[in-house]
């Protein structure tokens, strides 16, 4: 169990050091993407970051 102090410290650190981006998918028109993401073999964040970094390299 995490103490309240630890939760506050984590929230403070997250606020200072992280940025969250939200991806909204429509079940009807994005079904192929949803299916694909449900079957990837790595964590979602790692997958998205890897794809973006590959795209950055390709477009430099």
Q: 0.85 cut: is pTM over it?
A: no
Position 55 scores a pLDDT of: 98
Enter the DSSP assignment of 24. Answer: -
Separation of CA 39 from chain center: 15
Q: What is the mean pLDDT of residues 14-24?
A: 97
Please report how many Cα atoms fall inside a 13 Å half-sphere around the Cα of residue 50, on the Cβ side. Answer: 8
Q: What is the mean pLDDT of residues 14-41?
A: 97
């Amino acid at each position: 169990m995490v103490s309240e102090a630890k939760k506050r410290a984590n929230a403070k650190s997250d606020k200072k050091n992280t940025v969250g981006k939200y991806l909204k998918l429509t079940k009807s028109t994005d079904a192929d993407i949803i299916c694909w993401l449900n079957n990837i073999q790595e964590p979602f964040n790692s997958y998205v970051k890897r794809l973006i970094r590959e795209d950055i390299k390709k477009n430099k």
